[in-house]
Amino acid sequence: MSSGRNERRAGATALATATSLALLLLVAGSVQAAFPGRNGDTYFQTETGSGTVIARVGPNGKKFRRLTPARMDAESVSVSPDGKRLAFECEPTPGPSDVCLANRNGKRLRTIARHPAADDGDPAWSPNGKWIVFESNRDGDNEIFKVRANGRGLRQLTHNDGEDEDPAWSTRNQVTWEHSDEEGGTTDIWVMRADGSGQRNLTNDPDADDADPTFSPNGRLIAWDRDPFLPGTSDDIWVMRNDGSRKRRITTHPADDEDPSFSPNGKLIAFSSERGALGNEEIFVMRANGTGQRRVLTRSADDSAPDWAVKPKAKRKKGKKGKKGKRR
Ligand SMILES: [Ca+2]
Ligand SMILES: [Ca+2]
Ligand SMILES: [Ca+2]
Ligand SMILES: [Ca+2]
């Protein structure tokens, strides 16, 4: 949300205080890459009375299910390329946020990135499922890091003044993220190679905050949300090519539209928006050109930051003999 990003920028200047740390956790966006495959469930974050949890919903808004325990804040979920594992920002113990992994049902929960004094968050999977890219303020302001999914091999990819946040990793081994200057500049969408080289600003747009970038499954497109912060404007979803060309706006609703995520078949985009009678965030879906917008589910809680997962391949069935044996 636009207010969220303003708060996040404001919060960054007072990072040392406990309140701003809490604020950062609350307002962090979520960014992932969709990976190619059959369209599966949509994973997102939802507010409960005691905090934020990860949930999922099936196609057509059926089979809503909460996945993480209410005692632990969890948000910014990213689903692995095979659709079977979740990475998300978590707070298993009071203090700075960590990066957690779990299976697709929220079980086998474990922490893979933790720092006693820094917030780690906004994880996203690599296309081979072996790495997690994430943000951390370990060196003072937020930078982009990557770590193996087993928690080893931590590497820092950016060393920039200002905030570097919300990374996503494409099937073309590009990483996109949002960067904002310390000096009150706006947020822009950047790209680099997955080793941190070739960093480039794709929006370079002083008139708007550009945030929450995400790749299409073939890695050729980036969808993001752009907030011109003028009176009477709102966040809208935009799409461009991965070299920054052919930018076009695909939502125009006066409510804030945020956190786009391509479907695994590349034809649809899920996003969150506050439009609607309930006045809280809901998950919406539209075609990748912006047409056919519809709400996926209606709940009185804030539901946001969707990541559209690949439908996991079913486990191979045992041979006919085994089946027969079970039936008897
Ligand atoms: Ca930085
Ligand atoms: Ca900008
Ligand atoms: Ca809008
Ligand atoms: Ca809702």
Which domains are assigned to the chain? 29-314 (2.120.10.30)
pTM: 0.87
CA dist., res. 136 & res. 114, Å (int):
10
Rounded to whole angstroms, what are the CA distances from 191 to 23, 151, 301? 26, 24, 34
Ligand nearest to the CA of 45: 4
Dihedral over Cα of 298, 302, 303, 304: its sign? positive
User: What share of residues in the chain are helix, strand, coil (percent, to 5)?
Assistant: 10, 40, 50
User: What is the rounded distance in angstroms from the CA atom of residue 274 to the CA atom of residue 256?
Assistant: 6
Q: For residue range 26-41, what is the model confidence (pLDDT) as tens digits? A: 344 555 668 999 999 9
Distance of CA 179 to the CA centre of its chain: 15
Among 284, 172, 157, 272, residue whose Cα is nearest residue 212? 272
- DSSP state at residue 90: E
Identify residue 32 by its one-letter amino acid code.
Q
> Within 10 Å of residue 321's Cβ, how many Cβ atoms?
8
Distance 300 CA to ligand 4 centre (A): 5
Compute the distance from residue 253 Cα to the ligand 3 centre, in Å.
4
Q: How far, in Å, from the CA of 265 to the mean position of ligand 3?
A: 25
Mean pLDDT in residue range 49-57: 94
| Statement: residue 21 has pLDDT above 70 | no
Ligand with an atom nearest the CA of residue 138: 1
Measure 180 CA to ligand 3 centroid, in angstroms: 22
Average predicted confidence (pLDDT) for the chain: 88
A 10 A CB-CB count for 94 gives: 6
Q: How far, in Å, from the CA of 127 to the mean position of ligand 1?
A: 24
pLDDT at 164 over 80: yes
Q: Does 328 score more than 70 pLDDT?
A: no
CA of residue 100 to ligand 3 center, whole Å: 32
Kindly give, in sequence order, each residue whose CB lies less than 8 Å from that of residue 108, ignoring residues fewer than 6 positions away: 101, 102
Residue 255 Cα to ligand 4 midpoint, Å, equals 14
